[in-house]
A and B are shown apart, each in its own frame.
Chain A
Amino acid sequence: MLNRRELLRTGLLGAGALAAPGLLAACSNETTARMPALKAGEDPWRRFAGTTINFISENTAPTAAIAANLKPFTELTGINVRIVNLELSALVQRVALDMASGDSQYQVVYADPYQVLAPYSAGLADLREFIGAEDFPPLEGGLEDFIPTQMDAAGRFAEEGPVFALPYDCPTMIWQYRIDLFDKYGDAMADELGFDPTPGSDRTWDEYLQIARWFNDNADEVSYGTGHQAKQHDSLMCDFSNILWSYGGDYFAAGEQIGLLGLRDPGKCTLNSAEGVEAAEFYSSLMAAAHPASRTWDWDGVGAALRASEIAMCPNWHEFAASNEQALPGKVGYAPLPKGPARSAHMYGGTGIAISDNAQGAQRGAAWLFVNWATSPETQLSNLRSSAGGGTPTRTSVYELPQVRAAEQRPSDLPNMLTAEAVRTAWEPDNVGLRPKIPMWNACDTAIFTELSKMIAGQSPQETMDNATERFDQIVERGWVA
């Protein structure tokens, strides 16, 4: 005869034994749901109607535009999309932890090529599973419609075959300057400096520095000639890299290959080459002439400073054009960055959107429909027109549309397109600047921007590049395990 306590114990153990397999199964990846098949005559866009998916994104302009206008997608597919907008580092944490869980809380992922794609490509679906599949709607224009450099940089990792993401946004650093001030002082500057100061691809970084100093000494409208995103932050690496590449330096010997497709093992760092040190010396001089607050500015800070008339010019992401145009209508111009002894280089900061490989069943298919729709020419055009944000297209066909072409000149109803000529030059293979796409980039990035920050605070350029090289080599030697 069981007493009350024994009965209770037995009952609990029994319940636990019955529940455990269920609980374990619920936590396991083995219970994968199958994707529902396309029924005969069914619209492939409506195949996953009623499904809800989550899209995790950096708080960028294209996502702001899409979030403000999701209705066309919901009407087309019957799929509900919940968008989680985060600052990039927070996004990377969430994505990494989501992948570690073996589950997919976020089916569609904003896959920054350097912080998500390279380290976690093994956790992303190969989109070739959907592209060209007969039971899915076709990818309009195919992969060929995406700007080729961006397709490789934002969509692939380490090898030509797999496609992990479709290019979604494409911020690129260009020269942003006050047209009104260059108009006012252009002649006086030309007389004193001995060259035409008009911003363009013919200018050199040395001339840029001279122009900045001239503004420091002669213009009352602004506090300083130039400003930079030189906070101890990713932005400092971006700002410096333009100069590093234009002086012929690079992070690793296989610079182009690492930038475009990426590598798992990049080899030895080359930052302390003669060209690298020369670039650091120039950057040091540039920072000495720049607005002192540059040390506290990231891209947002330097953008705000330009709009607040603190500075006359700066290198910054081209997607700031829309906010520049709001604050200083008609007064900000855009040009390719100056060239150095080797070339002109423009940091590309674009990103693709990907699908978590843990996504299963209807959610996996629905995620692809969203990726397809969000990167389609029609959506990119709609984003350009959005008052909520917008970014710029990643498809060549959109740039060729007559209304988009027309918007490249003022008055423009698509202000980001005012930068089109400059960014077209920036995206040419000889001019594009691609940072190393390696799994351990986050640590390398921190190493270079920390050393550069020390250089701005007084450390010598040679020591800076030597220290950075040593730290890069240590990081690469440890490898990437996650």
Chain B
Amino acid sequence: MTTATNRRVTAPTQPPGPEKQKKKRLTFTGGLMAPGVAVLALLSILPFIALVVMSFSTVQLLGGVRLSWAGLDNWSRALADPDMWSSWLKTIIFLGATLGLEMVLGIGLALLLHRVTRGRGLLLSLILLPMFVAPVIVGLLGRYLTDSTFGLYAWLLNQMGWEGDILGGTTSAFVAVVLMDVWEWTPLVALITLAGLSSVNPSTMEAASLDGAGYWRSLQHIVFPSISGILLVALLIRAMDAVRYYDIIFVTTNGGPADATKIIPIRLFENAFRFFDLGYAATIGLMMLVLTILIAQGFVRVLARKD
């Protein structure tokens, strides 16, 4: 023990030789982390580097993948393409609409569930069901329910005097795919919010009630400030997911009609796996990555400010 302590004390006084410096770099903790970092590098960093390289290249597939230098061609094409900007606009609107609706409905559902004392478990299980359905199945269900020949929703709207085809109109198709996502993911927001509500101190609520604060005032001044952090996390999770929204649109409208639902992930897929224009697709992918990072950083900053 004494020897070890002495060694630790005396070590810094010795001039560090090059060999010792090298050894010092990999600490015990570093050694433990090394396999994880290596796997991370293999799974994320290398593909990321490949993606960056591809975005400056023309990718040829036949006879093995080959890259030829294309300079800024893919980037200038992406930035000058009006269809691409139109898709970005639709992506932003889609993001705003789905997040807004999911947050409002999810919080509303959670508040209702929080007040339920009997059968909450059963209700919660029922409400959570859509979340467990694969998005592609949600798309197929949506397509059948909105089909003008045999779809239930189409029939109901028809009975109410609405003429036309839900997935055939530019606005109605966009609204339909937004609502399909909202149907599937509102339960997640409700679940996260409910967890937050459970953590609100009951004695604070009781004190507010004794002081004469009504339900809405308590929500405004006690509940929401208490759960705002958790709401931001819910918003962050959904935002990151909504940027990559793909399955439901692919199954229902495939970006149509008239490109009304062609958000960026659909355009990315189209360029990558329909046209095999992999260099251009890599550029779109990197643009999506930038947006995702910006959104994530925005939320993290708000969270940090709150703390």
Tally the A-B contacts, defined by beta carbons under 8 Å.
104
Q: Is A24 an interface residue (CB 8 A)?
A: no
Q: Contact at A454–B61, with CB atoms within 8 Å?
A: no
Q: Contact at A308–B150, with CB atoms within 8 Å?
A: yes
Chain A residues near B277 (CB-CB < 8 A):
443
Q: Is B11 an interface residue (CB 8 A)?
A: no
Q: Contact at B61–A99, with CB atoms within 8 Å?
A: yes
Q: Contact at B149–A232, with CB atoms within 8 Å?
A: no
B 246-281 to A, binary, CB cutoff 8 A, 1 in contact else 0: 000000011111111000000000100111110000
Q: Is B58 an interface residue (CB 8 A)?
A: yes
Q: Contact at B258–A459, with CB atoms within 8 Å?
A: yes
| Chain B residue nearest to A101 in the complex (CB) | B64
| Chain A residue nearest to B261 in the complex (CB) | A232
Q: Contact at A292–B148, with CB atoms within 8 Å?
A: yes
Interface window among B46-54, B165-173, B194-202 = B165-173
Partner of B63, one of A89, A102, A296, A454: A102
Q: Is B163 an interface residue (CB 8 A)?
A: yes
Chain A residues near B259 (CB-CB < 8 A):
232, 450, 453-454
CB distance from B47 to the nearest CB of A (A): 16
Number of interface residues of A (CB under 8 A): 40
CB contacts under 8 Å to B, within A103-148, are: 119-120, 122-123
Q: Contact at B170–A457, with CB atoms within 8 Å?
A: yes
Q: Is A47 an interface residue (CB 8 A)?
A: no
How far, in angstroms, from A119 to B277 measured CA to CA in the complex?
12
Q: Contact at B275–A232, with CB atoms within 8 Å?
A: no
Q: Contact at B62–A120, with CB atoms within 8 Å?
A: yes
Q: Contact at B168–A100, with CB atoms within 8 Å?
A: no
| Chain A residue nearest to B278 in the complex (CB) | A482
Q: Contact at B165–A100, with CB atoms within 8 Å?
A: no
CB distance from B42 to the nearest CB of A (A): 17
Partner of B254, one of A123, A231, A442, A482: A231
How far, in angstroms, from A456 to B277 measured CA to CA in the complex?
28
CB contacts under 8 Å to A, within B148-183, are: 148-150, 163-165, 167-170
CB distance from B59 to the nearest CB of A (A): 7
The verdict on A232 contacting B60 (CB below 8 Å), with A89-B274, A293-B165 known, is no
Chain B residues near A123 (CB-CB < 8 A):
62-63
How far, in angstroms, from A294 to B65 measured CA to CA in the complex?
40
CB contacts under 8 Å to B, within A84-104, are: 89, 92-93, 96-97, 99-102
B 40-81 to A, binary, CB cutoff 8 A, 1 in contact else 0: 000000000000000000111111110010000000000000
Chain B residues near A442 (CB-CB < 8 A):
274-276
Q: Contact at A305–B253, with CB atoms within 8 Å?
A: no
How far, in angstroms, from A295 to B254 measured CA to CA in the complex?
12
CB distance from A445 to the nearest CB of B (A): 9
CB distance from B66 to the nearest CB of A (A): 9
How far, in angstroms, from A120 to B165 measured CA to CA in the complex?
38
CB distance from A351 to the nearest CB of B (A): 17
Chain B residues near A93 (CB-CB < 8 A):
273
Chain A residues near B61 (CB-CB < 8 A):
96-97, 99-100, 482
Q: Is A233 an interface residue (CB 8 A)?
A: yes
Q: Contact at B256–A453, with CB atoms within 8 Å?
A: yes
CB distance from B152 to the nearest CB of A (A): 15
Partner of B59, one of A102, A120, A482: A482
Chain B residues near A323 (CB-CB < 8 A):
none
Q: Contact at A482–B60, with CB atoms within 8 Å?
A: yes
Q: Which 5 A-B pairs have the closest CB atoms?
A: A232-B256, A295-B168, A457-B258, A100-B61, A293-B148
| Known pairs A233-B254, A482-B59 / 4 extra A-B pairs, C-beta < 8 Å | A99-B61, A295-B167, A308-B150, A443-B275
Residues of A that sit less than 8 Å from B by CB: 29, 89, 92-93, 96-97, 99-102, 119-120, 122-123, 231-233, 291-296, 304-305, 308, 310, 440, 442-443, 446, 450, 453-454, 456-459, 481-482
Show 13 residue pairs from A and B whose CB-CB distance is below 8 angstroms, ordered by the A residue: A231-B257, A232-B255, A233-B256, A292-B163, A292-B168, A295-B169, A305-B149, A308-B149, A308-B150, A443-B274, A453-B257, A453-B259, A454-B258
